[in-house]
Structure 1
Amino acid sequence: MLTTLAVSSYRSLRDIVVPMSRLNLVTGANGSGKSNLYRALRLLAETSRGGVVPALAREGGLQSTLWAGPEGGGSQGTVRTQPIALRLGFAGEDFGYAIDLGLPTPSSSQFRLDPEIKREAIWSGPFLRASNLLVDRSGPMVRVRDGRSWRVAQQHLPAFDSLFDHVVDPAPSPEVLVLRERIRGWRFYDHFRSDRDAPARQSQPGTRTPVLSHDGSDLAAAWQTIVEIGDVEALDAAVDDAFPGASVSVMEEAGRFRLRFDQVGLLRPLDAAELSDGTLRYLLWIAALHTPRPPALMVLNEPETSLHPDLLPPLARLIRAAAQRCQVWVVSHASRLIAALEEDEGCNSVHLEKRDSETRVAGQGLLDTPAWHWPER
């Protein structure tokens, strides 16, 4: 489980350190920085897949994503004196990781604005110290701890590749493999499609699907997988909680699966193509949150979208139950969902506010901020 998330110089996140628990709820007014924190977490996930530099390029490049205010915060602008650095990191119950991206040194290359990875570090414990550093990447060289000394694992690492892409031998550095696979398993759900042509409304080839896809295209197969190898009683109870007396089944025709929704008062079941946007989205959330293969971290971005307010308390119960099996991160501005989630004693509410264009955790003082140290260049 992650215990701390840290971001520096990413959009409105000049320097923020967020404590995390099993169930995390991120709230705040429009424009407070909720989406920026969510996107920073997604960028962190890209490091394990070799995609952090391309992901920055899709956002307009490093210069477009950097904190645009003064280095020390506040409303008074000053001339920059520090090197450009976008830094992302987290600490967990066993390992922590941080990455520092900047601009390349001046050269004749036309990729002079392409971000480079300046530093990466993996450590044990809640925050980085010299004594608990396990893997240290500085420029093109990667060192791994070998007892009380260090051994070089890579000497010519490309500046645009993460150490996760090249340090693959688990013998000297098992923590690299452990973290890479763990981060790759993070699951993000952001605005399921429910329009008339949404994939979830169409019949799809049936194959065992323990993890619902990000767009929900394999809803029927994922539902049937839960029926056969998951907690079918919890699945049925979730449907009844939101739609009393209703039931969901999966029809198979020539190897293609379709979802069928039976509701009290109707003479025939409804096909997925006939469901309202809200009903279809809620069934997608049921399938996502009842996965037979829970990830280390599941991130839900505004799950209340297109749902009737009466569905928000049942959705909160779904999320709270899922948080018993994996760590959950929810970004929301729906007051009814927020209130229902905060009924959970273990809910970690992170309320964001913006002052002088900088996103901060409301009410967080020096004594409330988790300890955090960035690796120095």
Structure 2
Amino acid sequence: MIRTIAIHGYRSIRELVLPLGQLSVITGANGSGKSNVYRSLRLLADVAQNAVVSSLAREGGLPSTFWAGPETIARGVRQGDYRVEGLANSGKPASLKLGFGGDEYGYSIDLGYRTGLPPATIFRLDPGVKRECIWHGPLYRKAAAMVDRRNNFVWLSTTKDEEPTMLTQHLGDTDSMLTTVPDPHRAPEMLAVREAVRGWRFYDHFRTDADAPARTSQIGTFSPVLHHDGSNLAAALQTILEIRSDQALATALEDAFPGSELSVEVLDGRFNLTLRQHGLLRPLSAAELSDGTLRYLLWLAALLTPRPPQLMVLNEPETSLHPDLLPALARLIIVAARQTQVIVVSHAQTLISALVKEQVCVPLPLEKSFGETVLKGATLFNTPKWSWPAR
């Protein structure tokens, strides 16, 4: 299980270390930085796909994603004695750092401006990887490092009496070592971390408009995982019906819509989802369902997956749902958290209250302090320990 998520220098986040549980709920007012935490997790996942550079480019590049405030915020500023002002340049290079610590492995990446580029290039603002590290356990220590990357050089750490083994010295500035130098024989931990992170699933605002993929019939294949856009909804639900023997789908459907019955019809290889509701003479097709009903069915397919990932991140799952459906959604999320680690980003108090009652739930309320996203109530003594590998 992932125990800690750490973020440094991203938008409203100057330095943030979050403890995670089997179920974690990130909350806070609008503008408190919930979306920035969610985006940071997606950037971490993009590293394992070697797509973090293009993802940052879509966000406006490094200049628009770096922490926008001063390097430090003095006590007098926080107490209101002085106004917020930028400090003199300390000479520290601009840096965006992302990392996590788990039971088995920890990983971090440090991104900054590339150096040594030809004068005529127009790619000067492209981010480059300055440091990557994989270590054993949740906390980085030099002695626990297993694979270490500085700029273009990647070393495999060895015993104290042996010299480190060079894996490569020609790694591209914009390439992650996870995707470019996986060596299953000499460095199996690189492959393990890469595949674990690649398996993270993110669900963010399913489409439910008239042209949404989930409303149209689709060619169906065995689907233990719901696509991020919900296009294989019918096939995913049918897979759950055939694989799971615990009646979880029927129970969750009855919890939200008593007396309803779900079925999947096949016509010329195309799957059509229908829902028969109590009191109606005929079943309704996916095209006829309300936005809230369709979205709840999408969450059924996502959370009851027969192939649970190591981590599932849900961004504002309450969108388009009536408040009366939120307790049922909370119970569905709790069921999913028994099989996989779940992070929920939400501002729906009904959903939050239902989730935080669970013993395995870790509430993570965020707030803004002088423009900086911080964990409410965090102190030096209750914040998880974290250490970044130096450049």
Give TM-score, length-normalised by structure 1.
0.98
Offset of residue 13 of structure 1: 0.5
Q: Which residues of 2 match residues 177-326 of structure 1 at below 5 A? A: 177-231=191-245, 233-326=247-340
Which amino acid in structure 2 is aligned with residue 80 of structure 1? N
What residue in structure 2 maps to residue 13 of structure 1?
A: 13
Question: Which residue, 358, 369, 377 being the options, matches 1:363?
Answer: 377
CA contact (8 A) 1:73 1:358 kept: no
What residue in structure 2 maps to residue 45 of structure 1?
A: 45
Offset of residue 355 of structure 1: 0.7
What residue in structure 2 maps to residue 92 of structure 1?
A: 102
Which amino acid in structure 1 is aligned with residue 24 of structure 2? N
Unmatched runs of 5 consecutive residues or more in structure 2: 75-83
What residue in structure 2 maps to residue 115 of structure 1?
A: 127
**Aligned residue pairs, count:** 377
Offset of residue 105 of structure 1: 2.0
Unmatched runs of 5 consecutive residues or more in structure 1: none
* Secondary structure of the corresponding residue to residue 38 of structure 1: helix
Question: Which digits, 9 at most, give the CA deviation of each residue in 1:136-180, with x for residues without a partner?
Answer: 000100001233331000111000000012212211111000000
CA contact (8 A) 1:97 1:122 kept: yes
* Secondary structure of the corresponding residue to residue 280 of structure 1: helix
What residue in structure 1 maps to residue 156 of structure 2?
A: 144
CA contact (8 A) 1:226 1:232 kept: no
**Stretch deviating more after TM superposition (109-118 or 274-283):** 109-118
Question: Which residue, 347, 351, 364 being the options, matches 1:333?
Answer: 347
Offset of residue 106 of structure 1: 5.3
C-alpha separation in 2, matches of 1:291 and 1:350:
26
C-alpha separation in 1, matches of 2:372 and 2:116:
30
* Secondary structure of the corresponding residue to residue 339 of structure 1: helix
What residue in structure 2 maps to residue 67 of structure 1?
A: 67
C-alpha separation in 1, matches of 2:359 and 2:339:
16
Offset of residue 73 of structure 1: 3.0
Offset of residue 346 of structure 1: 1.3
The 4+ residue runs of structure 1 with deviation greater than 2 A are 73-76, 146-149
Offset of residue 76 of structure 1: 3.0
C-alpha separation in 1, matches of 2:301 and 2:246:
11
| Structure 1 residues 94 and 168, CA gap change in structure 2 (3 angstroms) | same
* Secondary structure of the corresponding residue to residue 49 of structure 1: coil
CA contact (8 A) 1:231 1:290 kept: no
Offset of residue 198 of structure 1: 0.8
Offset of residue 242 of structure 1: 0.4
Give TM-score, length-normalised by structure 2.
0.95
What residue in structure 1 maps to residue 185 of structure 2?
A: 171
Offset of residue 110 of structure 1: 2.4
Tell me, yes or no, if structure 1 residue 125 matches structure 2 residue 125: no
C-alpha separation in 2, matches of 1:54 and 1:272:
35
C-alpha separation in 2, matches of 1:334 and 1:106:
48
C-alpha separation in 1, matches of 2:381 and 2:357:
25
Offset of residue 112 of structure 1: 1.2
RMSD: 0.9
What residue in structure 1 maps to residue 81 of structure 2?
A: none
* Secondary structure of the corresponding residue to residue 227 of structure 2: coil
What residue in structure 1 maps to residue 77 of structure 2?
A: none
C-alpha separation in 2, matches of 1:370 and 1:224:
42
Offset of residue 309 of structure 1: 0.3
